[in-house]
Structure 1
Amino acid sequence: MQAKIDTSRLEKVLKNIEKVSDKKASMAVLSMVLIEPNLEESTLYFTATDLEIGYKGKVFAEIEGVSAPFCVSAKKLYEIVKNFPEDTLYFIKDENKLVIKDEEEKILYNLSIMDGEDFPSLPEFGEEHSVEIPGKTLAELIDTTAFCTSKEDTRFVLAGIYLEPLKEEGKLRAVSSDGHRLALLDREVSGIENFPEGFIIAKKAAKQIEEIAEDELLIRLGFTNNYVVIWTSTALFFARTIEGPYPDYRMVIPSEYQNILRIDRKLFIDALKRVSLVVNERFKPVTLELLPKEVILTSQETEMGKAQIRIPGEYEGEPMVVNYNADYLLDALQIMKSEEVEMKIGVGKTPAILTGYRDEGFLYLLMPMVL
């Protein structure tokens, strides 16, 4: 078999393949990509899996001759194609090797191959439990909430992003939390009322979905048999979801507040960064003293010293002092787009809520610190 392939299109597919393949697998075949030539469709199919996630993409190719499916190293193939200087390249499948070359054979690689029969079979997925969604919308839902997932192995259901269909509202909601804070984003999605139920995507799989979705005008998102699946015009990606119920996050979102701070977002970010220069590196506590026209940010005194910064802000409520993790505040403020943000602040251990008029559908909840 010989195939002539566009290098850039092949590189795009192999980039996703390389991320899915398991480099540390005990089974050598899981570090490989399965290549399936289809002469009738003039297409090469590329598949990789680590048994938890999988990707199958296709690339148009001018194919001559027939060949059974075969496997090569996903990492090496991607590195070769990524650094290939010509716009087109050639695959020539021999008895026990794959030759990769340019038209004039100035560049020549030989890669060892394995029989395609050794590659694990992938689950079959139907599109009956799926919905069409703009790629940018799905990418935004993941990107805006992924930073809030838990890094603790013991809280496995919090280590992912919860995607929940709000059927009556016609929206898809993404929620993430590490137990100290929570990020939530709603986006309208046509046809979401037909979606079966919510599910939790592990952060690694979610970020791969985000990368794939970012480049697509429309994709199809599905959930079936504990797998999240996306279909694009040229690929299929699937990942096993995190099993177990997601905590009832609605219970921790207060419905009423008496204290409201409105403040310039960039000014707030700059002040938090400056006061953080001398805070405790582990917990990053910062104290906010809230006055009618002013916010005073203060660090706790340490061996390094202490910082105090005053910035203007519009505050409604009784003057109060409250402590937060500076990094947790910065994480949300830096992902938001509004020039001015609104912070609803509770008394005692009540969490604060951060929103912005240009961040429609976004809500960030943050627990105060007890010092």
Structure 2
Amino acid sequence: MNAKIETSRLEKILKKIEGVADKRASMAVLSMVLIEYKPTESYLHLLSTDLEIGYKGKIFAEVEGEETSFCVPARKFYEIVKNFPEDEIYLIKDENRLVIKDAQERIVYNLAITDSEEFPSLPEFIEENAIEIPGKVLAELISNTIFSTSKEESHFVLGGIYFEPIKEEGILRAVASDGHRLVKLDREVIGIENVNFNEGFIVGRKAAKQIEDIAEEELIVKLGYINNYVVIWTSNSVFFARTIEGTYPDYRSVIPSHYENVLKVDRKLLMDALKRVSLIIPEKFKPVTFDLKPDEIILSSQEVELGKAQIKLSAIYEGKPLTVNYNADYILDALEVMNSEEVEIKIGEERTPALITGRRDEGFLYLVMPMIL
């Protein structure tokens, strides 16, 4: 096999391949990329998997030679191509080596080849009844919720994003929570009532991040849920991931329906104030105290050996005087993905979650539990 490929296109597909390949795999082949070529096609096919997620991509190439398939280390291959200085790159299979070079052979790499028979077979999926969704919409559903997923192994079902079709409203919903906070984002998707799944499913963090990377580069992707796999199709690739088994908690039951205390504040002013107050907090969990009065809003840190920080903030507060503590990072995480100039924070009693929304953030809702100090 002798192939000439555009370097930038190969880099893009290898970035996704390298993200899927298992770098700490007990089976060496799971850290590999499988390269396949058939003389009837003007493409190279590249595949990777860690047995839980998988990616199949194809790239146009000027290729000569017989049908072949072989494996090379995914990370090293990606690093070579990523740092390759020429616009075009040549790949030559030479017995047990893959030669990677430029046209003048000023740059030449040799990568050892592994037999493709060791590479696991990947499942096949049919696109029937998959829903078309704008890539930016799917990427946003992930980027604006993934920060709230749990990183603790004991919270297994909370370790991913819960996707739910709300067919009667024509929306696809993404929900994420780590038990201390919860984010919900709704986006209208044309034709969601015809999607091939009726119930929700949970996509793990690693898989969700891969889907985000794929979707944000595509105008339209197809989304399906088949046999406990979430599947994404693009014009030149298929990505699939086994979903997290288990029942997602009833998130609707934890969203309070009524609040008597409402804080309206400029989003950027609040972000700046939280960051400044946090500068003097050395702890992993950053408690910030909100002293709320109709005529005065004060953010302050706890008294520590280093000292204490206090910032008075311009805001509108309607409700009874309250003193409540929140993790500053948790609130910042939400404010940083929002677009509204002003946010509304509905605040309950000590053990009631605050609810954050904004006019320019339609479909977005964020809950954060107060800290009990």
Q: Offset at 1:335? A: 1.7
Q: Offset at 1:160? A: 0.6
Aligned to 1:268: 270
Q: Post-superposition, which runs of at least 4 consecutive aligned residues in structure 1 deviate over 6 A?
A: none
Q: Offset at 1:17? A: 0.8
The one-letter amino acid paired with 1:337 is N
Aligned to 1:14: 14
The one-letter amino acid paired with 1:214 is E
Aligned to 1:157: 157
| Partners of 1:129 and 1:224 within 8 A in 2 | no
The one-letter amino acid paired with 2:294 is P
Give me the whole-angstrom Cα distance separating, in 2, the residues matched to 1:355 and 1:253. Answer: 13
Aligned to 1:343: 345
| Partners of 2:350 and 2:372 within 8 A in 1 | no
Aligned to 2:126: 126
| Partners of 1:149 and 1:178 within 8 A in 2 | yes
Aligned to 2:51: 51
Aligned match for 1:320, one of 322, 331, 335: 322
**Is residue 287 of structure 2 the alignment partner of residue 285 of structure 1?**
yes
Aligned match for 1:198, one of 187, 197, 200: 200
Which segment drifts farther, 277-286 or 81-90?
277-286
Give me the whole-angstrom Cα distance separating, in 2, the residues matched to 1:112 and 1:165. Answer: 46
Aligned to 2:184: 184
Partner of 2:283, secondary structure, is coil
Q: Offset at 1:341? A: 0.4
Alignment of 1:225-264 (within 5 A): 225-264=227-266
Give me the whole-angstrom Cα distance separating, in 1, the residues matched to 2:303 and 2:100. Answer: 63
Give me the whole-angstrom Cα distance separating, in 1, the residues matched to 2:309 and 2:84. Answer: 53
Give me the whole-angstrom Cα distance separating, in 1, the residues matched to 2:125 and 2:81. Answer: 30
Partner of 1:368, secondary structure, is coil
Aligned to 1:4: 4
The one-letter amino acid paired with 2:218 is E
Cα displacement string for residues 86-134 of structure 1 (whole angstroms, at most 9, x for unaligned residues): 1112222122221222222222222211222221100111122521100
Aligned to 2:67: 67
For structure 2, which runs of at least 5 residues remain unmatched after alignment? none
Aligned to 1:369: 371
Aligned match for 1:212, one of 211, 214, 220: 214
Alpha-carbon RMSD across the aligned residues, in angstroms, is 1.2
Give me the whole-angstrom Cα distance separating, in 2, the residues matched to 1:297 and 1:110. Answer: 59
The one-letter amino acid paired with 1:221 is L
Cα displacement string for residues 328-368 of structure 1 (whole angstroms, at most 9, x for unaligned residues): 11111122111110001112311110001111111000111
| Partners of 1:293 and 1:312 within 8 A in 2 | no
Which segment drifts farther, 167-176 or 312-321?
312-321
Give me the whole-angstrom Cα distance separating, in 2, the residues matched to 1:189 and 1:311. Answer: 39
Give me the whole-angstrom Cα distance separating, in 1, the residues matched to 2:132 and 2:361. Answer: 23
| Partners of 1:67 and 1:93 within 8 A in 2 | no
| Partners of 1:183 and 1:364 within 8 A in 2 | yes
Aligned match for 2:223, one of 221, 224, 227: 221
| Partners of 1:149 and 1:176 within 8 A in 2 | yes
| Partners of 1:129 and 1:223 within 8 A in 2 | no
| Partners of 2:44 and 2:60 within 8 A in 1 | yes
Cα displacement string for residues 280-329 of structure 1 (whole angstroms, at most 9, x for unaligned residues): 51331111111113211122212222222111111111122111111111
Compute the TM-score of the two structures, normalised by the length of structure 2: 0.97
Give me the whole-angstrom Cα distance separating, in 1, the residues matched to 2:69 and 2:104. Answer: 26
How many residue pairs end up in the alignment?
371
| Partners of 2:38 and 2:68 within 8 A in 1 | no
| Partners of 2:39 and 2:67 within 8 A in 1 | no
Aligned to 1:356: 358
Give me the whole-angstrom Cα distance separating, in 2, the residues matched to 1:31 and 1:301. Answer: 49
Which segment drifts farther, 352-361 or 271-280?
271-280
Give me the whole-angstrom Cα distance separating, in 2, the residues matched to 1:307 and 1:103. Answer: 62
| Partners of 2:231 and 2:239 within 8 A in 1 | yes
Give me the whole-angstrom Cα distance separating, in 1, the residues matched to 2:325 and 2:343. Answer: 18
Give me the whole-angstrom Cα distance separating, in 1, the residues matched to 2:293 and 2:66. Answer: 77
The one-letter amino acid paired with 1:182 is L
The one-letter amino acid paired with 1:213 is A
The one-letter amino acid paired with 2:77 is L
Which segment drifts farther, 140-149 or 64-73?
64-73
The one-letter amino acid paired with 1:20 is V
Partner of 1:278, secondary structure, is coil
**Is residue 106 of structure 2 the alignment partner of residue 106 of structure 1?**
yes
Q: Offset at 1:31? A: 1.2
Partner of 1:347, secondary structure, is coil
